[in-house]
Amino acid sequence: LANMVRSPEEGRHLFSKLTSVTERFLDVALQYVGSVPYDENVRKAVQRQRPVLEAYPRAKASIAFKQLAQKADSWPLPSTPRGHLEFFVERLVQA
């Protein structure tokens, strides 16, 4: 997920650079799921100490978060951790 990007193209470019590094040094394959645009409403929400989705539900960043949540909700759940990142997240959740 590319965050605070000025355009979808910038998000894909940023993701591409990150993928090059993770594949080379971490032996991890990432999948692009989208981007969250730069949105001044995020800063305003932080100042108000409220989630951007609650404070500014129609903001560009809020819409992007909602779309990501819809995508993530449809992802299949693995029955067991397969290693790498899944194992780390599983251990983190159990702790």
pLDDT tens, residue by residue, 7-23 = 999 999 999 999 998 88
pLDDT tens, residue by residue, 34-81 = 999 999 999 999 999 999 999 999 999 999 999 999 999 998 876 765
pLDDT of residue 80: 66
The CATH class, in words, for 2-94 is alpha beta
**Nearest C-alpha neighbor of 81 from the set 69, 73, 72, 90:** 90
Q: Which residues contact 21 (CB under 8 A, 6 or more apart)?
A: none
pLDDT(88) > 70 = no
DSSP secondary structure letter of residue 35: E
pTM, whole model, 2 decimals? 0.73
Q: Which residues contact 18 (CB under 8 A, 6 or more apart)?
A: 30
Domain ranges in the chain are 2-94
